[in-house]
Structure formats: C-alpha cells, structure tokens
Amino acid sequence: MSRRLFAGTVLGGLVTAGAAAWGASADSGAAAAGSRRGRAAEGEMRGMWVATVANRDWPSRTGLSASRQRAELLELLDVAVERRLNAVMFQVRPAADAFWPSPYEPWSSYLTGTQGKNPGWDPLGTAVAEAHARGLQLHAWFNPYRVAGHTDPARLAATHPVRRNPGWAVAYGGKLYYNPGLPEVRAFVQKAMLDAVRRYPVDAVHFDDYFYPYPVAGQAFDDDEAYREHGGDFPDRAAWRRGNTDRLVREMADQIKRIRPGTQFGISPFGVWRNASTDPLGSDTRAGVETYDDLYADTRTWVRENWIDYIVPQLYWEVGNSAADYAKLLPWWAKVAQGSGTRLYVGEALYKAGDPAQPAAWRDPAELSRHLTLARDHPQVRGHVFFAAKEVAEDGAGAMERVVADHYRERVAPPA
C-alpha cells in the first residue's frame, strides 16, 4: 500500500542555472493576484512529487530503454513548467537502492527490472541538470530505512548491504527495513544518501513520512536486541526510538550543510503529530496514526527547534473531514511554524481528486483550490506540494487546472 493510500486507511531552494527563467507573465487582474504577488516576492513553493517506488510516476514501467526513460522524465519536468510549478521532489532512493551510480547501494530495480543492473545512464544527474535548465529546483527524495517490499534477503542483489550485513534488517509487515536502532545502520544510510549530495548540486534533501514503519496489527517490530544494547539512556522503548529518529534528522542536517552549504533539508511527514485527546498540544483530530507515537517521529520538535529547513505535512484530507479536517489542521501547523525558522509548505492530495472511492468533496474539482484559498489567511504557509506527478500531468478531474487558474496565474521563483 502506498504512503498516500495509507493516509486514508488509518482514519477510518536555491536555483542557480535557470533562475532567470522566472519572470512575471502578462497575466494580471484581480486583487487576489496582487496578494499572491506580494508573497511571491519572498518566494513561494509550488512543488510536485515524482514517485519512483513501484513505478508509480516514473519510469512508466521497468525495462524501458535509456532514451525512453529520459524522454519520460523530461516530459514530467516540462509538465511542471507548464503548470507553473517551480520545484520537483524526485524519489531517488525508494528502497535502499539508487537512481545514480552509487558505490554503496545497487541500482534500483524500478529502472531495469533487475536490482543492481546498470540502466546505461544517470537519472539523478540528468534530472538535476534538466530541472535547473528549466528554472526548477530539484529536491532529491530519499527513504532512509525501507529495504524491500518482501522479506527475503536472497532476492536482493548480491552486492546489497543487507546481504553482507543480515543483522541490519528487520522483517515486519511483509517487508524488510533497516533497523533504525543500530548506530552502524544510521551511519551507513546517511553515507549512502549523502553520496548524492556530494556528487550533484541538488537544491534539497527530502525525506517522506517513513521512519519507523507504520504499525501493522498483531505484529511487533523486532528491535529487542538493539534496545537492550543501546536503549539504556532512555526511559522506555518509545523514547529510545524517537531518539534514534531525532539523531538521524539532526546528523543529516549537520552533514548536508557541511558537504554542500546552501542545500536545504526538508521532510514531508504524515499530517497528524498527535491528537489533542492524546496531548493538549496536538491537533483537533481523531487520526488512527500519530507520528509521535506510531512512527516515532517528533515532527513538531523538528520545526520548533529549527532542525530542518522546511516541513511539508501531508494534509491529505478534505475540508470538513470528521477525523482530520483540513481546515483545522492547516492553522494548527501554521501555529507550530510561527516564530520558527522552518518554512511550512502543505502537502496536497491531488491523487484523490475525482476518485469515486473518496468522500464526495473530492469529486468537486474546486476542493484543492479551496485549500490554497484557506492557506492565504496563514502567512506561515509558504507554498504547496502536490502528490503526484502522474496526476499533475493527466489531471482527469480538472483539479490541477483549477489550482493553476485560481492561484498560479504567474510564474514565480521558489523560496531561496
């Protein structure tokens, strides 16, 4: 199940090359547009995720020729420009693998169909160069701990780190994960991800919502041995796990700045930190998953303590949702970001628009546009990121077209 579909289930900046491409269009008019221009002067994030896991957005299938893969990638970048977006979050390490020639982890199977097989070109290097040529930021999107969508290490490439270090992996919920409780794992995954930062002038390092895995009923994540060895300084296992995640975030932030100053570090967590019924500091929600307690990710602290440059909470619910109302979560996150040095962008569920399986609100093409209208009342919101590229391109329900018409009448530079 994808992270975006899971969100429904549980509820029951620095462009160098190409920067000159951002100029105001001839569009003008309404007072609202003037208001948008005021914010645009400071930079406004207009992003889209390009998910490569399971070939969700790109490449369209495994085994395509290098030239066809490249053409599809450039088509998506062109779509971003056409929609007046200014940033792309490109998934380059979806499952302990790589979309660049990494010395640490194998080539992704989502390119050729065989993990470790060279696709004959450099997708990340190409994406960075071609995005910048179009005036787009390129945020390299990494998943720190997911290893595989199965539990059999023998199915991994012979060179895979888990084949050499089987004790690093935990089988849980039918999948394999690196164990976040092992210091050597945390050091390794950082080294693997930071290789891309050293090689390419990416504008940001981007994490999604997966740290410890989403809970699976009736199963326990087996980190007993790691907890016995490394958890002595913490009051309980939950605090230790949060400490492990905090270390990853803080260490990555420090190393990114040291390796490539000016490169941002952003995270896109599940949209509910804690429900108010759990913690008075939490949101007026009744979500079945809370990042603090279930994913061991203290996202509120990361913002308040300025550990990261930006946060993109996945607010993937409609206005009026009974368990997680967009109109209530938006001001909650704005208050969290207020006075901090962390920029707040909002993750938007474009993929839900027009889906008959979703609540009725999503069959109205104006639902997403209403989200952006609400955000105007909260100056802490510095932009939006849309999931995902396939829907930005196809836009069967017309929701993206409505967003562009109502809110993106001019091209603007992203936050620097």
Measured CA to CA, the distance from residue 325 to residue 164 in angstroms comes to 46
Mean pLDDT of 81-100: 98
Residue in this structure with the two tokens 């619910």, named with its chain if needed: 317
pLDDT tops 90 at residue 17: no
The mean of the pLDDT values for the chain is 92
Measured CA to CA, the distance from residue 327 to residue 322 in angstroms comes to 11
pLDDT at 230: 98
pLDDT at 162: 98
What count of residues does the chain have?
416
Confidence category of residue 212, pLDDT binned at 50, 70, 90:
very high
Amino acid of residue 97: D
Residue-wise pLDDT tens digits, 274-285: 999 999 999 999
What residues does 384 pair with on adjacent strands? 46, 346
Identify whether the C-beta of residue 403 lies closer than 8 Å to the C-beta of residue 368: yes
Q: What is the DSSP string of 23-83?
A: ---S---SHHHHHHHHHHTT--EEEEEE--GGGSSSSSSTT--HHHHHHHHHHHHHHHHHT
CB atoms within 10 A of CB 329: 24
CB atoms within 10 A of CB 325: 18
pLDDT at 107: 98
Confidence category of residue 38, pLDDT binned at 50, 70, 90:
very low
Confidence category of residue 24, pLDDT binned at 50, 70, 90:
very low
Mean pLDDT of 141-147: 98
pLDDT at 65: 98
Amino acid of residue 201: P
pLDDT tops 50 at residue 6: no
**Domain over 3-145+181-407 is classified CATH 3.40.640.10:** no
Amino acid of residue 272: V
Amino acid of residue 69: Q
Residue-wise pLDDT tens digits, 319-348: 999 999 999 999 999 999 999 999 999 999
pLDDT at 277: 98
Structure tokens at 93: 């390490």
What helix, strand, coil percent values describe the chain, rounded to 5? 40, 15, 45
Measured CA to CA, the distance from residue 383 to residue 346 in angstroms comes to 6
pLDDT at 33: 41
Confidence category of residue 30, pLDDT binned at 50, 70, 90:
very low
Burial 154-166 (b: 16+ CB within 10 A, else e): eebbeebbbeeee
Identify whether the C-beta of residue 193 lies closer than 8 Å to the C-beta of residue 205: yes
Residue-wise pLDDT tens digits, 44-57: 999 999 999 999 99
Mean pLDDT of 254-259: 98
pLDDT at 416: 82
Examine residue 123 and say whether the peptide bond preceding it is cis (omega within 30 degrees of 0). Answer: no
Q: How far is CA 93 from CA 14, 346, 408, in A?
A: 22, 22, 30
Residues 6+ apart with CB under 8 A from 114: none
Confidence category of residue 42, pLDDT binned at 50, 70, 90:
low
Residue-wise pLDDT tens digits, 54-83: 999 999 999 999 999 999 999 999 999 999
pLDDT tops 80 at residue 40: no
